[in-house]
Amino acid sequence: MLYSKKAIKKGASAVKKKKIWIKGGILGLGLASYLLFKSEPETIVLKEAVPEKVTTTSLESVTQEDIYLIASDGLPLALTVIQPENQPVKAVVQVVHGLLEHRLRYSGLASFLARNGFAVILSDSRGHGDSIDEKNPLGQMPSVKRMLDDQLKITRFINEHFTNSPVYLYGHSYGSVLARLYLQKNDQKIAKLLMTGTVQYEKKAKYGVVIALLADLFAGKQNFSWVIKKLSNFGSTDKTWLTNDEVQVEKVLRDPRMLPGYNNIGVTTIWEGVRRLKDVSLFACQNPELPILSITGAEDVAITGGRKGLIDTQRTLRTIGYQNVEMINFPKMKHEVINEINQEQVYQTILDFFNR
């Protein structure tokens, strides 16, 4: 078949335009990706942790010891061990703190429990407080698996140093997410589970994971995408949702150890953890009689989902196979029930649960 010069020229022009459109599309996609996921670094200062014993102190018949436990990848995990000085240890409470915070915020509760016969292990989760190094800077949580591996390392530490003492796991806020995921294959390692500020499962978490993974791809895992920061609502100076106690709110605002936010991979880990809460198939449920207690504030609806969210959390745990799940929702309390105006009531509720 023969074509005229005019037709050939027209065809060549069409091909050229198509190439221009393709190049323009690629450039446009690149520009859109940059604008969508461009980095807005947080004001985070990297501090070096020293992998050795730091201090030992005694207060009101309670001893406190700060140590570093070396994780499988070499990261020094900062631990504070608070225990009774002159009485036997009933059990060891392993504490998993929430987002943006650090282990020392639980010192008051730990001392209370220690005076009542319990040893308490406080730890800075990877990327928080003093659990950092060059590969694990502040604001970075590399994966759900790594965060859980760290908690398993701490449980083994407890088993080695407190022989024959039962382990009670306590997770607050996102720590309650990690505590529930800890149960998947390890519920036989603990004797009780306590949760406060219990995070509800959110359907949108799966979409958040996709967006976060795109941010990891286009902006880099250790960068801080503005859109991720916006969606996560980190950086807000409004902390009144934490507690009704204005003194505690002021402490949070003045606390230099509190984080302003997380990098892209850190946010990916947060949303991935929430997404997995409903993945019932991942739970072996080897300890169906495990006593589980959730303590929340009735004004903490955004985090717990209110009555509907708490019922859903309880139903999910029972669907997995756990038969002993109790939910307590204190009226007129917010997210941090252990830092509320009536914290004594919460302290006593926790003590009663541990003493059963």
pLDDT tens sequence across 33-78? 444 444 444 433 333 333 333 344 445 699 999 999 999 999 999 9
50 within a domain of the structure (yes/no): no
Helices 205-219 and 264-275: crossing angle in degrees, nearest 10, is 160
8 Å CB contact between 335 and 343 = no
CA atoms within 13 A on the CB side of 170: 25
User: Of 178, 168, 197, which Cα lies nearest the Cα of 339?
Assistant: 197
User: Of 183, 197, 185, 144, which Cα lies nearest the Cα of 291?
Assistant: 183
Residue with tokens 């915020």: 105
> Which parts of the chain have pLDDT scores under 50?
1-3, 7-8, 15, 20-58
Show the domain range for 318.
55-355
User: Of 186, 113, 192, 195, which Cα lies nearest the Cα of 155?
Assistant: 186
164 within a domain of the structure (yes/no): yes
* pLDDT number for residue 44: 34
* pLDDT number for residue 32: 43
* pLDDT number for residue 59: 54
CB-based burial, 97-106: b 16+ in 10 Å, e otherwise: bbbbbbbbbb
Q: Over the chain, what is the mean pLDDT?
A: 86
AA letter at 157: F
Instruction: Provide the number of structural domains found in the chain.
Output: 1
12 within a domain of the structure (yes/no): no
39 within a domain of the structure (yes/no): no
| Cα four-point dihedral sign 217, 219, 223, 229 | negative
112 within a domain of the structure (yes/no): yes
* pLDDT number for residue 302: 95
Beta-bridge partner residues of 193: 169, 292
> What is the CATH classification number for the domain harbouring 187?
3.40.50.1820
How far apart CA 67 and CA 77 sit, in angstroms, is 8
Two tokens at 312?
């859903």
13 within a domain of the structure (yes/no): no
Beta-bridge partner residues of 57: 64
Tell me the H-state helices in 220-263. Answer: 226-232, 246-254
Two tokens at 226?
């503005």
* pLDDT number for residue 235: 65
Beta-bridge partner residues of 352: none
201 within a domain of the structure (yes/no): yes
Beta-bridge partner residues of 92: 119, 167
Two tokens at 147?
């965060």
146 within a domain of the structure (yes/no): yes
329, 330, 332, 334 alpha-carbon torsion, rounded to 10°: -70
User: Of 211, 241, 253, which Cα lies nearest the Cα of 229?
Assistant: 211
Two tokens at 18?
């198509």
DSSP string, 93-156: EEEE--TT--GGGGHHHHHHHHHTT-EEEEEPPTTSTT---SSS-TT----HHHHHHHHHHHHH
